[in-house]
Structure 1
Amino acid sequence: MIRSSSSTPIPRTLPLLPLHDKVLLPGVVTRMQISRRDSIPLFEKLLRTVDSRDLNKCIIGAFPVRISSASASPTSPTKVSPASDNGDTRNGKGGKPEFVIPGPSPVYPVPSKGDGQLVRIGGSLDPADIHSTGCAARLVRLERAVGGFTVVLEGLVRLRLNKIISQSPFFEAEVTPLPDKAVDRSDQTLQDQIVILRSTSREFVSLLQTLKLPAPVLTQLQKFLDNVTVIPGQVVDLLMSTIESTIEEKIIILDAVDLKERIAKAVELLTRQIHVLKISQKVHDNVEGKLNKKQREFYLREQLAAIKEELGEKDTGDDDEMTIIEKRLAAANLPPDVQKAADRELKRLKKMQPSSSEYSVIRNYLDWLGDLPWSKSSEDILDVERARKQLNDDHHGLEKVKRRILEYLAVAKLQQLKGDVRGPILCLVGPPGVGKTSLGRSIATAMGRKFHRISLGGVWDESEIRGHRRTYVGALPGLIIHGLKKCEVNNPVFLLDEIDKVGSRGHHGDPSAAFLEVLDPEQNSTFTDHYLNVPFDLSKVLFIATANSIDTIPAPLLDRMELITIPGYTYAEKLAIATNHLLPKQIRQHGLSEDDVQVTQEALLKVATGYTRESGVRHLEREIGALVRSKAVEYAEYQERKQSGTTDSAAEYQPLVTLADVEDILGQEKFVNEVTERVAVPGVVTGMAYNGVGGGIMFIEVSQMPGKGHLQLTGSLGDVIKESAQIALSWVKGHGYEIGLTNSPGQNVMEKADVHIHMPSGATPKDGPSAGIAMVCALVSMFSNKTVPSTTAMTGEFTLRGLVMPVGGIKEKVIAAHRAGVRKIIMPLRNQKDVASDVPANVRSDIEFYYASTIWEVLREAFEGRAPVRGASAAASIDSRL
């Protein structure tokens, strides 16, 4: 037998618990999560002040938040659940776990103040939103959880809300209990209603039995219904908590203090649910038969239509989830092999329950297949003149890169009808700040394609490129497929930024090796991402990679790309870039107009030469930004004075930045001309270096001291450059008499001396063979006490036989030497063609080049005819032996 809910004494003043998506009825036990800030303080206080053994003596008022009449009607089959997590469907003790009859679960809005607006769950609650009828609840269990509390409440008796007496830190109110009255046996109308309720309830339970629901729960329901004549009010409350009904309908039951009114509404709701169950059973029996696929789909759709008709819902024309997926896959126009894989996965999805863990995996996979641009392309703008103008407007110089892009556009235009033009794999190599990344964006704009940048710096996992297999939790496609989904076309321009900084081989695979298929024009038409596991055609994608150095790029990957070197800029090019691009950009970014800030050409050139020392223009742009900001302050102060009426002729704003203003704004000059400021000293020679991020000059210093013929090398030198020093010293010692350093052919020039070779900037690693001839000249200069002009620089490798060998990085070295003030360069004869083809004409006109094939020619030119060679005949005989 059920204990009377009203037997527990109810205080007249109770703390309130607002229920936003639930209605607690008497005799029902429910579990809920407490996370609202207007409810947490109540349970915080209970947890602190009430002993755990006395928790079940705590009574609170559970009042629903008022909802409008626009609340949704029920849209799903019946849900049967016990009143508690631990048991008895009559009073919350000894029951079984909750179960739900298959069907979609409805989502009900919780309006505020009856106006149809949703109550903000995280916001403050208006007392006017609290419904006037609630339920006294006994606290069965209280546990702290993430973000709040987990509580178990047992409904006791209906309450009438009289007055809210406190809102902080939680609601408290005066209430009046509304217990059920005893059943009047003489009221024939009530007795008739009880008979109808008992009959309808038994029919409801019998239908649940046909659906093969758990027998213990059905047995408990059946026993509980046997008491319907004694406690009909509690039977109604329990049934309304176990069937699926809307919040509004449960509030109607809660408001029905009169037993007749409550039974009438309960019979109506039960009858509706019985009709739904009958339709479900009918279709279930048909589907259980041996029907073919089309018949099965027909009956299932008929079931859905019948349920909607019984619930009074209008067909809004919205498709179900499977239909939406099928339409998306059909619209994607998948290739045949991909369509086959999609159909197979869709067939599996239809057989699964939405609660299955694999359901979401397959659903996400089909979403990816439907979102990728398998056959959607953007139309190329194959206008060579338009592209040339776009590239020239965006970038100064870079003629080789522009010419290669125009070649691709021209070929694509000529073969447009064939549709068989494969995108090139370009790799722009150059120091930072020369415009590699922005050049890729300009190429996309010139071709009318979408642009997507993929940053590869620090990518160390192969799966970042090829995706994760779907067997892993949280698997996703790689960066290539992600980029295609974002671009929504299959022919975008992909910029693979910093490809030389991809992580090396490790226990997560080799990410650089994952690009071997992506960047191979012969293979990327069937690129297979691990997540998709179907091929995707990348042949229409124009890949552009950027790198600062090719030294760290694996040879197989480097072989798949067409290298285009972008060297550093000359001062003339920097001046043009600053005038046409950097200065207008900085003026716009600082909220000024071009009339508000004007910088003279002399001032810009001073910034480029005295305040920056780089191959690119990134630092130059920052310094120009400092000039503009200084003028922005002056202009803002001028506007303030003008508005206050205190402006005079002496305080007029001057927009022009002159050469004299540069030092006042940027401070003392940071860099001086290293070469022209130096005084020629014996044993010091200017060399030329290339470090992968641009060129530069380096000074080679040699000194001797009393010793026993030892050689000491300092300056953070690598193995190759150390070997060059050994070769240089061996050659000088072997030819000391011919050079004029010793008095006899067999004499050792280092017989009583040690030699120390040093290269300043010792924190910078240095390596490579191109300092060979400079070391020979430095050694000869030191031993002979002759000087090499500081404005003369040299580069080249040489052998023990005295042959001068060609070296790389000529353009970068020459441009860096030009920036440093070098006026004469000695280099190998076989590098003459590099100077003619790569070095800008204005640089060639400012520098005198001398090309040597032997070390004797280098010595004569370095010392300007003052080389200490013993007579022309000795040098000529040595040249003949070479």
Structure 2
Amino acid sequence: MAASKLPVLPLPHPTILLPGSRITLPVTNKVGEAFVELIEQSDVLPVVAAVPVASDTNHTDLANYATAARILRLVRPPGRNSRQSYLLTLHGLTRVQLLTPYVPDPDNAFVPWDVQYLPSSKEVPSRNVVDTFKNSALRLLDRLARDSGKQIRRDGYNKISGMLEDVTDARAAWMADILVGTVNASFADKLAILGTNDAEARLTLATEIFTRLVSISEVSTKIATQVEESVYKQQKEHFLRQQLAAIHKELQSLSSSSPGNLIDGRSSSSELDDDEQHEADDMADLKRRIEAMEPGSEERKMGVREWRRLKRIPQGSVENGVIRSYLEWLTAIPWPNSALEPPRALQDKSFLTAARAQLDSDHFGLEKIKKRLIEYLAVVRLKEMNAERERAAVAGTTSSPPAEAEQKTDAAEGAPAKAPVPNPRLVRKSVKGPILLFVGPPGTGKTSLGQSVAKALDRPFQRISLGGVRDEGEIRGHRRTYVASGPGLIVQAMRKAGRCDPVLLLDEIDKIGGSNFHGDPSAALLEVLDPEQNHTFNDHYINVPIDLSQVLFICTANTLETISGPLLDRCEIVQLSGYTYDEKMHIARRFLLPKQLNANGMDADHVQLTEPALMTIATQYTREAGVRSLERAIGAVVRYKAVEWAECVDAERENQDNEQKTKPKEYSPVVEESQLEAILGIARWDAEEREREERRGVVYGLVVMGQGEGGILPVETTAVPGAGRLKLTGSLGEVIKESGEIALSWVKTHAYDLLITNSRAEDPLRVPELIDIHLHLPAGAQKKDGPSVRICLPFDWGACSDEHCDDWRDHAPGRVTPVGGIKEKVLGAHRAGITKVILPWANRKDVEHDVAMEIRSVMEFVFVRTVNEALVAAFGKNTLGWRNGPVLLESRL
């Protein structure tokens, strides 16, 4: 058919007008006035293209099909009220197709658009398809008539049913459009019907829609019936329980049972069925646990108050379950009382000796950490000895008879009798648990140290992972007013431990979330980790002060940078810097190799690592502060040998089964250094790695990386033709950028004294020719910032001079002013094969105190106060010629 032009009217989502249907919708005053003008210009009622849209605001996403609709009525708002809208009534005529995508015009209400009228299908649908359509439509109308609560709507559905029964096969598709537009079909279903021009296909699609709507209606009716029956059952159960409670109350008044009976109002358990008996046992157990609490304590008062509320609330109500859950949590918390006995390990005279043996058996090295833990354990032991003497003294004084004689004398003299003095409660006094914060790289044994302390103290150990916790309620708990509320992680760990003095390990405290709309979880830890406040810790769910002063908190972190200042102030920081190669060898022999043998089903006789092979794994295949990569490498070796051993055993069994006399392949348990490349591949760090960097303009600085590991940072400088500028690359921070500028300024200032220029007015970057200095720090994807490599930068002046640089392969200068992390940096230099380190003079005590003797014996440390001393230490004495003699300059870099 030929194309025509029709004004386009986008329908508001989810309205769709189908052929044969009518709709009435409000339109804006601007659109209404355009309709008035359109009607006045036409001799007959105008026709528009009603196009459905996918949303209320995006009118560009239109369907390919629309409906040619005639305007039947346009109601103007009374009194020209601009706040009210026009009411427009449309009658769908036939389907049309938009030839081009419709683009709305904000200036014009209607835009004539090219459309094509779709011809009606001339083929009559098959009788089977029409009958199926009628049956599904009649079934849906019958369901809608029964579900409708209004007589008018039921009459309308019955009228449509009569029309459906009388419709002919040729008009069935027209009836499908009317029915789909009438029933509560979805937007997608109506859009699919609009886009289907074939009569038989449209009937099939309408049958599927009606069948689905009938199924949904039946399910909804079934659910509503079940809900009504459930509500009626609950009301009936509540009424019967009220009657049963009244009967029990009357029976209790007539019976001679004691008032302290745990099962209130029940004469005997034989009168109860199984469910009621279990319920009574649970309630009795709950009451016994409340009675076991310390008299007069806050937790007992709260328990009694909630118990009385629980008795007044029916069992089937929601509040009953909430109160029971709260009482179960309240009574499960280990509240401190006189019944708490000291651990048996503290009563042993060899407690400290056993504690040292426990720490030494679990960890190699870490002498400073072990010393601090032994100090804490010694204080705990002394407090327990003092408490034993106090208990003995109190037990001797309370049994003396003068108090009774004094009371008798007062009574004889006619004075008011004094209340009997109860025996004092022998509460065990213990030292307040410190807050130890183990800071170090991954794999250095922070978590396992907490387990060792718990074993030495004979206390339960619980680990709380704080990584990724972003809700304050995870620490303090959620209030009971919230749905599915519960206590926080601290209370949950206390309940699992079963004692009020466990060892709680707060793991990954540096990775806890910051402040957000859920609160600040790191701020919630301030009360937990404050020894002066945690004796009255308030959990929002329990809402009773909980004493955490006896808990030994151990926190772990990889870095201190992400921990808030107030939280860090409450902790005692214990640094774990990493292990030397000698310590890694001992750890691998004592712990890692036996662990991997056991994990892979091997024995010590099956795998024997030689000392050179183990040292090669530690130096060339792993380079880290901890031992996790070393353990993985050893596990790979063990698994490789496990495959060989399994193949050897299988070959031997096959020879025995087949009675063959061929000699099976021999198995060698020894792993040599030469076999590691075949097992682990090419070494990641080989001995010749730094030899490729033997060139002028490359120096190495010492840094502490993001996970607390020490390492080296090469600084490369080159001179290229340019315009006398400095170029910095390598993902650098502001501090290092400023350091590069300051270093270049220092070189320019002393260029004349260092024989680089012939006069003080000359710029070394412009005389004798223009050059640029390119300063590059490799590993560009890694963010680098900090002051630790500042003194490295002036040494690269050799890149723009003709002076000979000394060999920098084994040198790593620090800065002249003091820096931190000396042990981590020295260990990183040792792992990288550095043999000479230049450090500030103020850090000499750090080297003597923190760096192990085995490292100091193989490395040379040069401590400098000034830049001149650093230059002499780096290039050698009398290597640099000063024009006016050496200049002593205190570094401010």
What range is the shorter-chain TM-score in? 0.5 to 0.7
Corresponding position: 1:661 with 2:675? yes
**Residue pair 2:693, 2:809 contacting (<8 A) in 1 also:** no
Residue matched to 1:620: 630
Please, what is the CA RMSD of the aligned residues?
3.8
CA distance 1:664–1:530, shift in 2 (3 Å): same
Residue matched to 2:85: none
Residue matched to 1:322: 283
Shift of 1:765: 1.0
- 1:389 alignment partner AA: A
CA distance 1:338–1:879, shift in 2 (3 Å): closer
Residue matched to 1:407: 375
Tell me, in whole angstroms, the C-alpha distance in 1 between the residues paired with 2:512 and 2:254.
55
Aligned counterparts, 1:571-720, within 5 A: 571-645=581-655, 649=663, 651-673=665-687, 676-693=690-707, 694-720=709-735
Tell me, in whole angstroms, the C-alpha distance in 1 between the residues paired with 2:592 and 2:367.
20
Deviations 1:45-89 (A, max 9, x none): xx99x978999xxxxxxxxxxxxxxxxxxxxxxxxxxxxxx9xxx
Tell me, in whole angstroms, the C-alpha distance in 2 between the residues paired with 1:143 and 1:585.
63
Residue matched to 2:181: none
Corresponding position: 1:304 with 2:266? yes
**Residue pair 2:733, 2:786 contacting (<8 A) in 1 also:** yes
- 1:401 alignment partner AA: I
Residue matched to 1:778: 796
- 1:609 alignment partner AA: T
- 2:668 alignment partner AA: Q
Counterpart selection for 2:853 from 841, 855, 868? 841
- 1:838 alignment partner AA: D
Corresponding position: 1:863 with 2:866? no
| Structure 2 residues without counterparts, runs of 5 or longer | 1-134, 144-148, 150-214, 388-428
Tell me, in whole angstroms, the C-alpha distance in 2 between the residues paired with 1:746 and 1:661.
63
Deviations 1:557-611 (A, max 9, x none): 0011011110122211111111111111000111111111111111111111111
**Residue pair 1:675, 1:822 contacting (<8 A) in 2 also:** no
**Residue pair 2:868, 2:887 contacting (<8 A) in 1 also:** no
Tell me, in whole angstroms, the C-alpha distance in 2 between the residues paired with 1:764 and 1:635.
43
Tell me, in whole angstroms, the C-alpha distance in 2 between the residues paired with 1:414 and 1:878.
55
Counterpart selection for 2:321 from 354, 357, 360? 360
Shift of 1:647: 7.4
**Residue pair 2:440, 2:575 contacting (<8 A) in 1 also:** yes
Residue matched to 1:393: 361
TM-score (norm 2): 0.64
CA distance 1:854–1:695, shift in 2 (3 Å): same
Counterpart selection for 1:874 from 875, 882, 885? 885
Residue matched to 1:810: 822
Shift of 1:703: 1.2
Residue matched to 1:238: none
Residue matched to 1:351: 312
Shift of 1:436: 0.9
Shift of 1:879: 7.8
Tell me, in whole angstroms, the C-alpha distance in 2 between the residues paired with 1:575 and 1:445.
26
Shift of 1:297: 7.0
**Residue pair 1:638, 1:647 contacting (<8 A) in 2 also:** no
Counterpart selection for 1:827 from 835, 839, 860? 839
SS at match of 1:513: helix
CA distance 1:52–1:378, shift in 2 (3 Å): farther
CA distance 1:795–1:343, shift in 2 (3 Å): farther
Counterpart selection for 1:760 from 770, 778, 787? 778
Tell me, in whole angstroms, the C-alpha distance in 1 between the residues paired with 2:892 and 2:541.
67
Tell me, in whole angstroms, the C-alpha distance in 1 between the residues paired with 2:891 and 2:438.
45
CA distance 1:294–1:769, shift in 2 (3 Å): farther
CA distance 1:683–1:334, shift in 2 (3 Å): farther
Tell me, in whole angstroms, the C-alpha distance in 1 between the residues paired with 2:673 and 2:625.
23
**Residue pair 1:674, 1:820 contacting (<8 A) in 2 also:** no
Tell me, in whole angstroms, the C-alpha distance in 2 between the residues paired with 1:691 and 1:576.
25
CA distance 1:490–1:746, shift in 2 (3 Å): same
- 1:756 alignment partner AA: H
Residue matched to 1:731: 746
Tell me, in whole angstroms, the C-alpha distance in 2 between the residues paired with 1:542 and 1:285.
53
Aligned counterparts, 1:21-40, within 5 A: none
Residue matched to 1:564: 574
Shift of 1:794: 3.0
Shift of 1:460: 0.6
**Residue pair 1:826, 1:851 contacting (<8 A) in 2 also:** yes
**Residue pair 1:495, 1:545 contacting (<8 A) in 2 also:** yes
**Residue pair 1:852, 1:858 contacting (<8 A) in 2 also:** yes
Shift of 1:378: 6.0
Tell me, in whole angstroms, the C-alpha distance in 2 between the residues paired with 1:553 and 1:370.
35
Corresponding position: 1:554 with 2:564? yes
Tell me, in whole angstroms, the C-alpha distance in 2 between the residues paired with 1:281 and 1:499.
56
Residue matched to 1:465: 475
- 2:345 alignment partner AA: I
Deviations 1:349-392 (A, max 9, x none): 11111122211111111111111111356616241111111111
Corresponding position: 1:523 with 2:533? yes
Counterpart selection for 2:551 from 534, 537, 541? 541
**Residue pair 1:329, 1:370 contacting (<8 A) in 2 also:** yes
Residue matched to 2:24: none
- 1:478 alignment partner AA: G
CA distance 1:313–1:843, shift in 2 (3 Å): closer
Shift of 1:530: 0.7
**Residue pair 2:506, 2:555 contacting (<8 A) in 1 also:** yes
Tell me, in whole angstroms, the C-alpha distance in 2 between the residues paired with 1:314 and 1:858.
85
Corresponding position: 1:854 with 2:866? yes
SS at match of 2:727: strand
- 1:409 alignment partner AA: L
Percent identity for Structure 1 against Structure 2: 45
User: Which deviates more from structure 2 when the two are superposed, residues 667-676 or residues 771-780?
Assistant: 667-676
**Residue pair 2:652, 2:664 contacting (<8 A) in 1 also:** no
Residue matched to 1:231: none
Residue matched to 1:130: none
Aligned counterparts, 1:77-476, within 5 A: 304-305=266-267, 319-333=280-294, 336-375=297-336, 376=340, 379=343, 381-382=345-346, 383-416=351-384, 417-418=386-387, 419-476=429-486
CA distance 1:582–1:421, shift in 2 (3 Å): same
CA distance 1:462–1:278, shift in 2 (3 Å): closer
SS at match of 1:393: helix
Deviations 1:200-231 (A, max 9, x none): xxxxxxxxxxxxxx9xx9xxxxxxxxxxxxxx
Shift of 1:329: 1.6
Shift of 1:348: 1.1
SS at match of 2:519: coil
**Residue pair 1:493, 1:541 contacting (<8 A) in 2 also:** yes
Shift of 1:729: 1.0
How many residue pairs get aligned? The number is: 623
Deviations 1:485-525 (A, max 9, x none): 01111111111110000001111111111111111111111
Shift of 1:648: 5.2
Tell me, in whole angstroms, the C-alpha distance in 1 between the residues paired with 2:672 and 2:781.
37
Shift of 1:881: 14
CA distance 1:53–1:313, shift in 2 (3 Å): same
Tell me, in whole angstroms, the C-alpha distance in 1 between the residues paired with 2:557 and 2:262.
59
| Structure 1 residues without counterparts, runs of 5 or longer | 1-46, 56-85, 87-140, 153-213, 218-241, 245-273, 798-803
Shift of 1:653: 1.5
Tell me, in whole angstroms, the C-alpha distance in 2 between the residues paired with 1:592 and 1:790.
46
Shift of 1:746: 2.2
**Residue pair 1:684, 1:702 contacting (<8 A) in 2 also:** yes
CA distance 1:51–1:317, shift in 2 (3 Å): closer
